């Protein structure tokens, strides 16, 4: 019984995520309080909310976005939602992770 209880304690509350793969980052838009990015995937253009400047990760995310633009590198954004739509513009949800890849 103790083993089952211990296992339940270490299970994440939200164990699912969606990874959105984008062909390119086309633009970064910085506001006084937030950062947005413009992505392309299979000919579809999408704006995504990256985060507020008050979030420590937003600065790192913005640096990765700038690198992706400069090197024409594809990018992945991870969202903690099982029903997240990667091909819709989203001005509300922050990504959990950004990844550059070749």
Mean pLDDT of the chain: 89
CATH code for the domain of 38: 2.40.50.110
User: For 33-72, b where at least 16 C-beta lie within 10 A, e where not — what string?
Assistant: ebbbbbbebeeeebbbbbbeeeeeebeebbebbeebbeee
pLDDT at 81: 87
pLDDT band for 8, please (50, 70, 90 cuts).
very low
Domain span at residue 28 reads 13-100
40 in any annotated domain:
yes
Calculate what percentage of the chain has a pLDDT beyond 90: 79
Residue 51 lies inside a defined structural domain of this protein: yes
More confident residue, 63 or 14: 63
Number of domains forming the structure of the chain: 1
Residue percentage of the chain with pLDDT more than 70: 85
């Amino acid at each position: 019984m103790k083993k089952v209880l211990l296992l339940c304690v270490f299970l994440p509350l939200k164990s699912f995520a969606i990874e959105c793969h984008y062909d390119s980052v086309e633009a970064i838009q910085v506001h006084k309080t937030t950062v947005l990015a413009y992505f392309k995937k299979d000919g579809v253009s999408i704006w995504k909310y990256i985060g507020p400047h008050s979030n420590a990760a937003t600065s790192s995310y913005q640096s990765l976005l700038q690198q992706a633009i400069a090197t024409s590198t594809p990018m992945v954004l991870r969202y903690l939602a099982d029903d997240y739509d990667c091909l819709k513009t989203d001005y509300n949800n922050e990504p959990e992770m950004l990844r550059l890849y070749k």
